[in-house]
Amino acid sequence: MPKASKPARTQPRPAQPQVRAADDIPLRVIPLGGVGEIGKNMYVFEYGDDIVVIDCGLMFPDEEMFGIDLVIPDVTYLRERRDNVRAFLITHAHEDHVGGLPYILPEFPGVPVYASTLARGLLGNKVKEHKLHNNPLRSLEPGDELVIGPFTVMPFRVGHSIPDAMGIALRTPAGTVVHTGDFKFDHTPVDGKMSDFAILARLGEEGVTCLLSDSTRAENPGYTPSERTVGEAFREIMEPLEGRVIVATFASNIARIQQVLDAAAAFGRKVAVAGRSMEQNFRIATDLGYLTYEPGMIVAKDRIGETPGNQLVVVTTGSQGEPMSGLARMANRDHRYVEIEPGDTVIVSASPIPGNEEYVARTIDNLFKAGANVIYHAIRHAHVSGHASQEELKLMLNLTRPKHFIPMHGEFRMQVQHGRLAIETGVLPEDVFIIENGTPIELFADGSARRGQPVPAGYVFVDGLSVGDVGEVVLRDRRALANDGMFMVVVTVDKQTGNVIGSPEIITRGFVHLNEQDPIMAEAVARIVAAIENPGEHISEVALLKSQIKDGVSRYLYEQTKRRPMVFPVVVEV
């Protein structure tokens, strides 16, 4: 079909939205997972009284979120429409797409979660661990068609760094939207399962009102290489080696693990699996038939020491330098089963995710210090991305030929680049929506679209056992304590005379000066006593006395040190 025959895409749209009939219900597309940041993914699709949610990710805290364990999306909008939520649809079981489920599902009892076989296998652990038994886990495989209220859900296979990853098309009365999930087009996938070009092309011919597509690698020109190229790299690296080989990669990258197994087999090496999540995923993927190998080639991790180095490959976690991971423990000589020795070769089969660069660098440095040779991203690529580069993104755009385009995932600048690619392929500039978290895009059956009123959206912090108790105030205090520490003053005052009893007690932590014999401390005490002994007019009030101590001490400490510790005055009246 020649391009010109698809009028919705090339005809100018009226500048003003038309007056609409009451029954002209829009499909509302709402990002709740934090647009413009890498980490968590959650899109809400709402038509009338029906909502389906695609993915429910978590993000890891950035360096200014002190003490925070995890960050999950604020789902106030869904909570207020609890009865309308029909399903959670999962594209694939990476943490940034499913990690929020344990915290969010309990608020939506009975709502089913749909996912493909491997994703269900991996989610099984979460279900057990977090007792998520109130939400049925149902099958949704590439190629299925599933009707949920006004939505016809059509998952389609895409390539990614985990098997059975899917994009999801939704047919609705307001038109068809395509959500790519995380994807790349791998023409030679390790498992032989090709991305579903046919369904994308068919949807494109029928007419797609809006494409939501993965922007993670939109800055990268050309094509992302096939996962298969990593297997070739593994074989080239391993071939001349006499010593032990240790490969670190993502526990969920089953295709990568398969390629480690294949390369090991090619050189008569056995494979040991180390690291809790790696072992868990290895077992699940094996049980579900996603990994194939001779059973005899697996070495139990507690027998690693008994296997000659030239017959062994260890596959482990920690390619991001995560402090508790297998590789970081090996690098710190703190691993129960693997002690790094000269002659070992470590392959870090990953690129550092933004924010992890320093962890990765430290791990590599420590491995070198321990005597290993390390093969890592800067000197040799034993890794490819699971995300599409520019040519693939353009192919996705040209297969689906959307009227409207929403770049999703990736940071703001990547979405800007992706928007430019869309315009290059023929989407009108005014039909590209780069949207803030919580901003709905409303798509109408006539092909028009508009931004809706923002809905509540943001972060919820998970800190220890608490979900949502830690907010900006607590974080601000943590930041202040982290920068300049604290300085506590305890004063006992005679209620009758107003005189100080004994000497004020000072407790300080994390402040510049440690020693309570320090002249600065002595002078601070003298000033406090003087302030109380020579009170101003209103000094009889404890609250005022406290604020006077606080201000005086803060000012004095700043003059002396140019630091502002948190000052806590305690006044005990007796």
Active-site positions?
A: 214, 387
**Ordered DSSP codes for 344-409:** -EEEE-S-PPTT-HHHHHHHHHHHHHTT-EEE-TTT------SS--HHHHHHHHHHH-EEEEEEES
> 392: number of CA atoms within 13 Å, CB side?
29
User: What is the C-alpha to C-alpha distance for residues 133 and 49, in angstroms, rounded to an integer?
Assistant: 26
Beta bridge partners of 506: 489
**Interface with its own copies by CB under 8 A: which range of 72-80, 157-165, 169-177, 478-486?**
478-486
The interface mask with its own copies, positions 374-393, x = CB under 8 A, is x-x-xx--------------
383, 351 Cβ separation under 8 angstroms: yes
User: Which of positions 52-91 make contact with its own copies (CB under 8 A)?
Assistant: 62-63, 66-67
Cβ at position 564, least distance to its own copies in Å: 9
> 213 vs 415, which CB is nearer to its own copies?
415
- The site for its own copies, by CB under 8 A, has a size of 66
Question: Using N-to-C axis directions, what is the helix angle for 276-287 and 117-130, rounded to 10°?
Answer: 130
Q: Which of 20, 82, 413, 451 binds its own copies (CB under 8 A)?
A: 413
Cβ at position 219, least distance to its own copies in Å: 4
Q: Does 463 bind its own copies (CB under 8 A)?
A: yes
How many other C-beta atoms lie within 10 A of the C-beta of residue 531? Answer: 19
349, 248 Cβ separation under 8 angstroms: yes
> 60 vs 151, which CB is nearer to its own copies?
60
**Interface with its own copies by CB under 8 A: which range of 50-58, 91-99, 167-175, 360-368?**
360-368
Q: Does 574 bind its own copies (CB under 8 A)?
A: yes
Question: Using N-to-C axis directions, what is the helix angle for 254-266 and 228-238, rounded to 10°?
Answer: 40
28, 441 Cβ separation under 8 angstroms: yes
Q: Does 256 bind its own copies (CB under 8 A)?
A: no
**What Å distances lie between residue 405 and 99, 179, 214, 307, 544, CA to CA?**
26, 10, 11, 54, 59
Q: Does 219 bind its own copies (CB under 8 A)?
A: yes
**Interface with its own copies by CB under 8 A: which range of 26-34, 135-143, 243-251, 409-417?**
409-417
> 49 vs 469, which CB is nearer to its own copies?
469
Q: Which of 343, 510, 539, 544 binds its own copies (CB under 8 A)?
A: 510
Radius of gyration of the chain (CA): 29
> 201 vs 480, which CB is nearer to its own copies?
480
**Ordered DSSP codes for 61-129:** --TTSTT--EEEE--HHHHTTGGGEEEEE-S---HHHHTTHHHHGGGSTT--EEE-HHHHHHHHHHHHH
Q: Does 479 bind its own copies (CB under 8 A)?
A: yes
The interface mask with its own copies, positions 548-567, x = CB under 8 A, is ------------xxxx--x-
Q: Does 483 bind its own copies (CB under 8 A)?
A: yes
Cβ at position 434, least distance to its own copies in Å: 9
**Interface with its own copies by CB under 8 A: which range of 102-110, 120-128, 294-302, 483-491?**
483-491
Q: Does 40 bind its own copies (CB under 8 A)?
A: no
Q: Which of 365, 523, 533, 541 binds its own copies (CB under 8 A)?
A: 365
Q: Which of 407, 485, 504, 552 binds its own copies (CB under 8 A)?
A: 485
Q: Which of 10, 292, 466, 503 binds its own copies (CB under 8 A)?
A: 466
Cβ at position 508, least distance to its own copies in Å: 9
Q: Which of 209, 253, 325, 417 binds its own copies (CB under 8 A)?
A: 417
Burial class (CB within 10 angstroms; exposed 0-12, middle 13-18, buried 19+) of 110: exposed
Burial class (CB within 10 angstroms; exposed 0-12, middle 13-18, buried 19+) of 235: middle
**DSSP state for residue 336 in the 8-state scheme:** S
How many other C-beta atoms lie within 10 A of the C-beta of residue 212? Answer: 26
Beta bridge partners of 500: 493
Cβ at position 97, least distance to its own copies in Å: 22
Cβ at position 65, least distance to its own copies in Å: 10
Q: Does 130 bind its own copies (CB under 8 A)?
A: no
Among 548, 566, 572, 558, smallest CA distance to 509 is for: 566
> 297 vs 481, which CB is nearer to its own copies?
481
Q: Is 340 helix (H, G, I), strand (E, B) or coil?
A: coil
User: What is the C-alpha to C-alpha distance for residues 433 and 416, in angstroms, rounded to an integer?
Assistant: 10
Q: Buried (b) or exposed (e) across 484-521, using 16+ Cβ within 10 A?
A: bbbbbbebbbeeeeeebeeebebebeebebeeeeeebb
> 275 vs 419, which CB is nearer to its own copies?
419
Cβ at position 26, least distance to its own copies in Å: 26
Q: Does 423 bind its own copies (CB under 8 A)?
A: no
**What Å distances lie between residue 227 and 186, 192, 303, CA to CA?**
7, 11, 30
Q: Does 333 bind its own copies (CB under 8 A)?
A: no
Summarize as ranges the residues that interact with its own copies (CB under 8 A).
Answer: 36, 62-63, 66-67, 219-220, 354-355, 357-358, 361, 364-365, 368-369, 374, 376, 378-379, 411-413, 416-417, 463-466, 469-471, 473-475, 477-486, 488, 490, 492, 501, 505, 507, 509-514, 560-563, 566, 568, 570, 572, 574
